[in-house]
Amino acid sequence: MVEDTGGGNMILERLKLAGFEGYKHVEVEFSPGLNLITGRNSTGKTTLLDAVLFALYGEVPGVEKRMLVSRLATANNRLSVGLSVKLPNGRFEVWRTGVLYRKGGKENFRTEKTLLFVNEKAVPLAGEEDLRRKVSKLLGIGLKKFINLIYVRQGELTSILKPRKEDMDFILDINVLREVAEQLDEVRRILEKYEGRDVKTLVVTYREHELPRIEGYIASLNRQIAILEKEVTRLQEVLEKARSDDLKKLLLLIEKRDSYTTEISESRNRLQGILDGSNASNLQELRSLLDKAERDVKTCFKNVMELNKRKRKVQDLFDAENRRLNEAEANLKTASASTMEELETLLGETKDLLGKLQSEVVDTEEEYADVLEARSSLAGKISSLRDEVKNHKRLLEEGVAECPTCGQKISPDLLREISFEKEAQIRRLETEYSKVDAKHKALDSKLKKLRGELEKAATRASTLAQVHDKVKMLLRGETLNGLRERCRLLKREVDELTSKITEEKARLARLEANRDSLKKAFVDATSIQKSIEKLEENLRKTVKEVSTSLKTLCLPFDAEDPDLKSRVAERIPLSREEIETKETELQERKQRLKDLKSELKNNLKEKRKIEEKLSILEERLRKAEVTRGFIEKLREGIEKRRRRLLRNIQRQALSVYNTLTDQHVYKAFQIDPETYEVYVQPVGLAGFIPASRVGGGHQTLIALSIRMAILNVLGYRSLLILDEPTYGVDSQNLPQLMNYITEMAKNLRQVLLVTHYGIGMEEATNIIKVDIASDGSSQAKTLV
């Protein structure tokens, strides 16, 4: 069963492509946090995002499916896309394969296979639309909302500042509520019409015209029937006096006897049919068959329970061992190792590198300190000499004849000579300083690089040591292959038990069906047998009464004679003319009475129809009014919900904006509830201005804040896909924009960022490099 998990907790894990656009074969791993997809233009970065859309929803908006199939020289006109997605309660994997074919000279695309696995179990699919519905239910989000809310296409980052109204209505689910309101309004219009006519008009017609007319006619029929019933009663009383009560009683008893005889024969035939259908000759044999069927069902049910108990025990053992195996393999994988031997080798190499780097850092720091001291000494000497030259030139300009410091007589020529020598000395020292300064900068750069490498090596060694200890603990002295083999054997035993359980359950179902069939046959047969016995008793009593009546009428006939009624009619004919006339008259009156009652019945039926239709029409009017009131409340609720959502988005957008930058230049954000255009209120201004009119850098930051706020308010904080958000941004603003994006990514579980600039790599948890291979195909590899 596919559960609805909501759209706020998905993580894309793995994307596999074959024959998709420019890719031959590629497997891309995504991770939580910022996933940076980088490479030069036209290398296939956006193609990876198209593949994600195609895997989830079976299409890429704006692109024909046939254009997704690779056109490389080595391509085979087939594509295959697989995507693994992690959910809060597990994960699912979706696969789509398709092929190009030609029909009527035209190239077409046909989907060959679609697969969906939820927690590694295959989910039955009725076709592509069924797969799309199930994936949308798993994600909690459909294609249109995904591309408007989650996936920001190239050049559309700031479009949220002045979006299309219908797109925002769809994002906020306003369109769904409006469609409900329109559908309810259509229901109201339907309720106010009945068989193409206005319901109010029909109510007046039926209430004031049709119903009074038919009620009057029914009253007339009742009067005629009352008169005719009196005439029929009078004729019947006359004829009854002409008939013998004992003869009438006899005829009734004969009919009763014949009825019992027929019922007994039919019941015996039904009983024999049941026994024949159950392969039994009598009720006792049928009871024995039913008892045996009950015993068979109990035995088979006990077998099923024992097999289930054994399977649960083996399944629990397999689950425990398999979790241990998966955890050990996962830990090895995080260290880029597949075995303990590889892990230990990596750990040793990393420790050796760590020691080497530590030694090199110490040596470099000592050399750096020496150079720094020499550089400071030279700088002090140069500064002192420059001060002396400056003082000498001042004395020369002032024409001073003796030194103000020592009182020695000095001449202008002597001052010039001394200044010249010291300037020459300054130049020599500056040359020496330049060399020392260059060496200082080189050592500083080298030292920073060594310290960075040392830190990475230390982190790597610590991580490998932790993984080594964890895997060793999980294996408990056992080899990885040994644990794998035990898991395989346990899984095979689980599968064998599952197969046996399935077979036993099928057998149990057959046995239960047979038992139920026999039980029903036994109950029916027993009931019929009792009915036959009661009928036979009634028949014996009736035959005895017939015999008594025959004696009373002095008729020498056998009470059990099948033709007794004919024999009695031969002995006592009713042929008097007066009786025949009365009989004819009685029959005519009865027929007339029957016709009148039939007509009365039809008119009463018609009256009931009118009353029922009137009730239906009045109920439709009542429901139409209720629907009208509900529509008004729904539309008010839609507007309240929309404005409440927008207020929350405005408030959260400003909060997000203030966390992304320390330039708090706006007091408030505002979203026009009619057009959804975003406005901002700069600090120091009384009013709002369109966000699309502020600087490009601020537009980008505001757009990021608005999108993040929408994700927060609607509960979709798990994923954001940005395709070239740096499109159109000048190079000077790129670092700042990337800082905004990486800061925002910290508030989301996963971000996919496509860019052809090599920036933001230090903030990424996963870097996917896309380039063009020598054969012209796209290739992608993970750098981090």
H-type helices in 117-161, by residue range?
Answer: 128-139, 143-145
**24 shares a domain with 124:** yes
Enumerate residues 6+ apart whose C-beta is below 8 A from 775.
72, 73, 74
Q: Across 689-728, where does the E strand assignment appear? A: 689-690, 719-723
Which portions of the chain are predicted below pLDDT 50? 1, 4-7, 238, 241-242, 572-576, 578
**197 shares a domain with 131:** no
pLDDT tens string 519-533: 888 888 888 889 888
Q: Answer whether 644's CB lies under 8 Å from 672's CB.
A: no
pLDDT tens string 395-454: 777 776 666 665 666 677 777 777 788 888 888 888 888 888 888 888 888 888 888 888
Q: Which of 566, 588, 612 is the last residue of a domain?
A: 612
Cα torsion 584, 587, 591, 594 to 10°: value is 160
pLDDT value at residue 500:
93
Q: What is the largest CA-CA distance in the chain?
A: 190
Structural domain boundaries, residue 727: 11-141+716-782
| Ramachandran angles phi, psi of 94, nearest 5° | -120, 140
Of 781, 783, 724, residue with least CA distance to 23: 781
Q: One-letter amino acid identity for 342?
A: E
Q: Which of 565, 590, 612 is the last residue of a domain?
A: 612
Enumerate residues 6+ apart whose C-beta is below 8 A from 467.
331, 332, 334, 335, 337, 343
Report how far apart the first and last C-alpha atoms of the chain are (Å, whole number).
37
> What's the total number of domains in the chain?
2
pLDDT value at residue 308:
92
Q: Which of 583, 612, 641 is the last residue of a domain?
A: 612
Crossing angle of the two packed helices 696-714 and 577-660, in degrees rounded to 10? 140
Of 399, 420, 421, residue with least CA distance to 410: 399
**226 shares a domain with 117:** no
Q: How far apart are CA 361 and CA 369, in angstroms?
A: 12
3-class state of residue 550 by DSSP? helix
Q: How far apart are CA 131 and CA 136, in angstroms?
A: 8
With respect to residue 53, please indicate whether it lies within any of the assigned structural domains: yes
Of 189, 122, 724, residue with least CA distance to 131: 122
**92 shares a domain with 200:** no
With respect to residue 456, please indicate whether it lies within any of the assigned structural domains: no
With respect to residue 119, please indicate whether it lies within any of the assigned structural domains: yes
With respect to residue 50, please indicate whether it lies within any of the assigned structural domains: yes
Crossing angle of the two packed helices 577-660 and 174-191, in degrees rounded to 10? 160
With respect to residue 652, please indicate whether it lies within any of the assigned structural domains: no
Of 654, 669, 657, 664, residue with least CA distance to 740: 657
**134 shares a domain with 210:** no
pLDDT tens string 540-581: 898 898 888 878 766 788 888 888 777 765 554 444 454 577
pLDDT value at residue 20:
95
pLDDT value at residue 131:
94
The HSE-up count of residue 29 (CA atoms within 13 Å, CB side) is 10
With respect to residue 733, please indicate whether it lies within any of the assigned structural domains: yes
Of 726, 727, 754, 728, residue with least CA distance to 738: 726
The CATH number for 101's domain is 3.40.50.300
pLDDT value at residue 14:
96
With respect to residue 677, please indicate whether it lies within any of the assigned structural domains: no
With respect to residue 23, please indicate whether it lies within any of the assigned structural domains: yes
Which run of H or E residues covers position 26? strand 23-29
Residue 245: both structure tokens together: 């009560």
Q: What is the pTM of this model?
A: 0.48
**197 shares a domain with 129:** no
Residue 671: both structure tokens together: 């979203």
Of 729, 733, 760, 726, residue with least CA distance to 745: 760
Q: How far apart are CA 120 and CA 328, in angstroms?
A: 20
pLDDT value at residue 5:
46
Q: Answer whether 222's CB lies under 8 Å from 597's CB.
A: no
Of 777, 772, 731, 724, residue with least CA distance to 752: 724
Give residue for tokens 């590198």.
353
Q: How far apart are CA 300 and CA 416, in angstroms?
A: 123
